Every structure is written in C-alpha cells, then in structure tokens.
Homo-oligomer: A and B are copies of this chain.
Amino acid sequence: MACQRSQDAANFVFEGKKIIGVALNYMCAVNARKVPVPKEPIVFLKPTTSYIREGSPIVLPKVFTKVAYEVELGVIIGSRCKNVSREQAMQHVGGYCLALDLTAQCNLTAARATGGSWTLGKGFDTSTPVSRLIPLDAVNDPHALPLWLKVNGEVQQSGCTADLVFKVPDIIAYVSKYMTLEPNDLILTGTPHGSDAFKAGDVIECGLADLATMKFNVCDE
C-alpha cells in the first residue's frame, strides 16, 4: 500500500492543485527571532505555477528587491482527507520531497505590517523549487532528517526536522479542519534558522539527509 501511494504521488508537480506552507515552524527560528512559539500552525497558500524542477533557473521578479531562500521538508498527500485526527494523519502521506519556499521578504514584510495578504510575496513564479518524490519506504522517521542549504558553496542553513514545532501529523490534522487535502497536495513544513536574501548569479544547493539534493542557478527576470 505504501508503494502504491508513492507511485501515485510521483507526478505531484503536474497533478497537484494546492501548496500549503507553514511559517515559523522550527524552534531554532523561533528562538533566533525571539518571538513566542506559535500556538497553532501558521498556514499560507502558494500556487502550483510557482513550481520548478532542477534544470530550470530561479528567476527573481523585476517587482521585488529582496528574495530569501528557505530550505524545507515537503510532504506530499497521498489520499483525500478532511477533519483527520493526528493519529490517522500519517496514513494520508504519499511521499516526501526536498523543497525551497522562496519568499519575497520586501513584499511580505510590507504586507504583514499593514495586515495585507501574503500571496504575492510567497506565490511568484519559480518560488517553489522541488526535488523528485522521495518514496515513503525511503523515510523511516520524517522527524529525524537533517537538511541544509548552501549559497555559492557556503553553508547558510543547517537544521533537522526533529526541531519542528508542529510535526507532520499535527499540520495535516490542523489544516484538514479547514480544507480538504487531496492527493498530490504539497505541504511545506517550514524552514530552520538562517534564511536570508540571495541575488542573481548565486548558486543555491540544498539537501535532505541522504535522500535528495538540488542545485539551482539564480537569474533576474
């Protein structure tokens, strides 16, 4: 059954309709920013037009001045669920991926200051680079995975999914109280401390345990 679910989720980039992000979900990031630990997952949406795969560049939109990297564990939904319990939630996971949740901080900071929407700062084209599907049976424990990101060869982020504030089943259970999760939906689980701006000409590499690595060139629109 795990095998079947992984096969079905292999085309999540083309078949998926939803990308759900969780903000401020690593204790190291909460501590570094000296903010209170969130009481509930902080959930946002990205459009699937933001997906890219290795071989395509990250394109920084003309309209933005500051875009930051965020390396994340992605969780791909394998079967439909609504109002699922934490205990049942993992049965609806179809696989994993390595992902970047690129964020236009220039836009998002301004939006947050005025109670505005996060959509443009999170949703621009090429803002969600992802690896191939990592099948379920390759991952013993999704909460024990080191992940890292380098810019031009220098390590900028280094964390472990053990440090997640809300674990994978917590997020699935919470989101499914509001909206149905469908096969091929992607959940971006948040990023460890160290997210920062990057620029055209940079090379971004990242990795998740021994499961996946990715490398992207960055250019201006």
Interface residue ranges, A against B (CB under 8 Å): 17-18, 20, 23, 42-50, 61-63, 82, 111-113, 115-120, 123-125, 177-182
Contact = CB atoms under 8 A, between A and B. Distances in A.
B120 A47 contact: no
A49 B180 contact: yes
Contacts of A82: 125
B43 A179 contact: no
Number of copies: 2
A176 to B, nearest CB: 10
Contacts of A50: 179
B118 A178 contact: no
Given A23-B117, A63-B177, A124-B179, A45 B47 contact: yes
B180 A123 contact: no
Contacts of A46: 45
Contacts of A45: 45-47, 119, 123
Contact of A125 (B47, B119, B180): B180
Nearest to A50: B179
A207 to B, nearest CB: 28
Given A125-B82, A178-B63, A116 B48 contact: no
B63 A182 contact: no
Contacts of A179: 47, 49-50, 123-125
A63 B176 CA distance: 11
Given A42-B117, A117-B42, A119-B43, A61 B177 contact: yes
A105 to B, nearest CB: 13
A111 B49 CA distance: 25
A49 B179 CA distance: 7
Given A178-B124, A178-B125, A17 B119 contact: no
Contacts of A116: 42, 112
